């Protein structure tokens, strides 16, 4: 990260800059050239990520900065529509008023309030686990768990398509690393056999994979884990709150809640969408994370308003399974209508519905044309997904109406025909 003088030099402003520029002008100019070249390479490779600016609350209907109103949004992880739920917003305001803007501290120094402990207890109860620990994000939870848990004597076996934060978390630990082919149980078994020589084996997988909308074969993973005496870790960012009869996640959906040892998940998607992440599992593990996990030890506590949002989202989910259930019918409607229209939708039964197009340019042009028709979707291409597997990822939310979904399918059909993706 660039700091202090370097930042001022790059921006070319601020007091006393003349002297600083004289002192390190060459280095700053070199850096600027290098950064500009790198940025040009990204543009040239067609992988530049631009950001659209939303001028309204997050929800199925958006207003974009610069005028676009009434845009139908199909690209947020707002699976249950709780990001703008009135009770969630009210809970945030109440927490803000009662507990303040923030803690100005890490948890173990001066940063734990009663609401943090209440939320951790609620998360553990929701997942039927012994305890839970909050992080500023699930990225942090993933960055902090492997290093704290595993040593040189241990092994971690990771699906090759796991989320970047799991990959980074594993990089930080000293354990022996095995990468098994995506959801390939033969390969996992071979790697587990090889890993028998290590003290402890941990299989790590996303519960649901965000690029393909496919769900990890947890039953089979847990059977192999039992056979080879391994533990199972799942990242439930794209499952918590809506997969399974009560929205507990992939482990509930596949009937293995008692077989998965560790769950990491986010508060920044279905559970209110504000921010935050957590680990839930055996109490001694959570106790150890509080002592050793670096993103927990050295980063600020979650702000009260954020805690308030997640806490209310969990209350709503634990009161009734109606919200969790509301997802499935909408997803089914979109998937079956798109398939009938002639599109290939990757994955199965998951609100992440990747419309497979193959060609990167086609995905980009179609996504742009969808927005011209008031439908906000995003095209993904290499390096985010493998070459030749470009797609437009559609994400269904429980608060999309049937009419919203039908409008989306109609627009896809028109745009698909126009650009040759459909006959």
CB of residue 289 to ligand PLP, shortest distance in Å? 16
Interaction of residue 240 with ligand PLP, rule CB under 6 A: no
Q: In angstroms, give the least distance from the CB of 376 to ligand PLP.
A: 18
* Other residues' Cβ atoms within 10 Å of the Cβ of residue 407: 16
Q: Which residue's Cβ lies closest to ligand PLP?
A: 137
Site residues for ligand PLP, 338-377, by CB under 6 A, read none
Within 10 Å of residue 280's Cβ, how many Cβ atoms? 25
Q: Which residues pair with 155 in a beta bridge?
A: 176, 201
For residue 165, state whether it binds ligand PLP (rule: CB under 6 A): yes
Q: What is the nearest approach in angstroms of ligand PLP to the Cβ of residue 267?
A: 7
Residue 214 touching ligand PLP (CB under 6 A): no
Q: How many CB atoms lie within 10 A of CB 123?
A: 25
Nearer CB in complex with ligand PLP: 60/277: 277
Position among 113, 205, 210, 261 found at the interface with ligand PLP (CB under 6 A): 210
Q: Which stretch binds ligand PLP (CB under 6 A): 99-107, 137-145, 147-155, 335-343?
A: 137-145
Q: How far apart are CA 251 and CA 236, in angstroms?
A: 9
**Active-site option among 122, 269, 330, 350:** 269
Alpha helices (H) along 281-353: 283-292, 294-297, 304-319, 322-341
DSSP state at residue 154: -
- For residue 185 the two structure tokens come to 């149980």
183's tokens = 């959801």
> By CB under 6 A, is residue 395 in contact with ligand PLP?
no
Q: How far is the CB of 163 from ligand PLP (least distance, A)?
A: 4
- How, if at all, do strands 231-235 and 201-206 pair? parallel
Q: How many alpha carbons lie under 13 Å from residue 157 in its C-beta half-sphere?
A: 30
* Beta strands 71-73; 344-345: pairing state: unpaired
Residue 131 or 235 having the CB closest to ligand PLP: 235
Catalytic: which of 158, 210, 265, 311? 210
Active site residue 117: no
Q: How near is the Cβ of 310 to ligand PLP at its closest, in Å? A: 11
HSE of 107, CA atoms in CB hemisphere, 13 A: 22
Site string for ligand PLP, 257-296 (x = CB under 6 A): ---------x-x--------x-------------------
210 carries an active-site annotation: yes
- The answer to whether the CB of 295 falls within 8 A of the CB of 144 is yes
Active site residue 137: no
Interacting residue with ligand PLP among 79, 126, 139, 334 (CB under 6 A): 139
Name the nearest CA neighbour of 209 among 385, 379, 58: 385
Percent of residues in the chain assigned helix, strand, coil, to nearest 5? 45, 15, 35
The distance of closest approach from Cβ of residue 396 to ligand PLP in the complex, given in angstroms and rounded to an integer, is 16
In 3-state terms, what secondary structure has residue 184? coil
Pick one of 9, 133, 188, 237: the residue that binds ligand PLP (CB under 6 A).
Answer: 237
Task: Give me the numbers of helices (H) and strands (E) for the chain, helices first please.
Answer: 16, 14
Q: Calculate the CA 332 to chain-centre distance.
A: 22
Q: Does 163 bind ligand PLP (CB under 6 A)?
A: yes
Distance of closest approach, residue 276 Cβ to ligand PLP, in angstroms: 7
Establish whether the linkage from the previous residue to 383 is cis, with ω within 30° of 0.
Answer: yes
Give how far Cα 153 sits from Cα of 41, 170, 176, 196, Å: 42, 14, 8, 11
Residues 44-63 that bind ligand PLP (CB under 6 A): none
Q: Which of 73, 113, 137, 205 binds ligand PLP (CB under 6 A)?
A: 137
Which CB sits closer to ligand PLP, 278 or 412? 278
CA distance 217 to 207: 8
Minimum CB separation from ligand PLP for residue 149, in Å?
17
Which residue among the candidates 191, 198, 238, 330 is catalytic per the annotation? 238
Which amino acids are annotated catalytic?
A: 210, 238, 269
Binding footprint of ligand PLP on the chain (CB under 6 A): 137-139, 142, 163, 165, 206, 210, 235, 237-238, 266, 268, 277
């Amino acid at each position: 990260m660039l700091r202090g003088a370097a930042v001022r030099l790059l921006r070319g402003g601020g007091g006393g800059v003349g002297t600083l520029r004289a002192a390190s002008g060459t280095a700053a100019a070199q850096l600027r050239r290098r950064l500009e070249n790198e940025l040009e390479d990204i543009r040239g490779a067609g992988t530049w990520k631009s950001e659209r600016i939303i001028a309204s609350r997050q929800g199925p209907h958006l207003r974009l900065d610069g005028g676009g109103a009434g845009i139908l949004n199909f690209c947020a992880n707002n699976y249950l529509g709780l990001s703008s739920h009135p009770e969630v917003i009210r809970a945030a305001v109440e927490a803000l008023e009662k507990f303040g803007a923030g803690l100005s501290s890490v948890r173990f120094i001066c940063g734990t309030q009663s609401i943090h402990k209440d939320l951790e207890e609620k998360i553990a109860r929701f997942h039927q686990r012994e305890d839970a620990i909050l992080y500023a994000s699930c990225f942090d939870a993933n960055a902090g768990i492997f290093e704290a848990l595993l040593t040189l004597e241990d092994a971690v076996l990771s699906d090759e398509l796991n989320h970047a934060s799991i990959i980074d978390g594993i990089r930080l630990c000293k354990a022996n690393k095995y990468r098994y082919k995506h959801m390939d149980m033969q390969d996992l078994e071979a790697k587990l056999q090889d890993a028998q020589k290590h003290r402890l084996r941990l299989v790590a997988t996303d519960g649901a994979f965000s690029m393909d909308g496919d769900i990890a074969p947890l039953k089979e993973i847990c059977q192999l884990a039992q056979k080879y005496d391994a533990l199972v870790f799942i990242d439930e960012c794209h499952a918590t709150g809506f997969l399974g009869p009560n929205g507990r996640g992939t482990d509930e959906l596949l009937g293995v809640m008692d077989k998965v040892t560790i769950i990491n998940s986010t508060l920044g998607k279905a559970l209110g969408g504000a921010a935050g992440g957590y680990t839930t599992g055996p109490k001694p593990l959570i106790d150890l994370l509080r002592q050793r996990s670096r993103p927990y030890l050295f980063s600020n506590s979650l702000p009260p308003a954020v805690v308030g949002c997640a806490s209310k989202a969990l209350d709503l989910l634990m009161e009734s399974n109606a919200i969790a259930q509301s997802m499935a019918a909408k997803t089914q409607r979109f998937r079956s209508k798109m398939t009938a229209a002639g599109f290939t939708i990757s994955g199965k039964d998951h609100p992440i519905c990747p419309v497979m197009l193959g060609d990167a340019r086609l995905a980009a042009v179609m996504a742009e044309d969808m927005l011209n028709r008031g439908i906000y979707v995003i095209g993904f291409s290499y390096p985010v997904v493998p070459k030749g597997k470009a797609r437009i990822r559609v994400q269904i939310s429980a608060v999309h109406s049937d009419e919203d979904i039908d409008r989306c399918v109609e627009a896809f059909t028109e745009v698909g025909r126009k650009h040759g993706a459909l006959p």
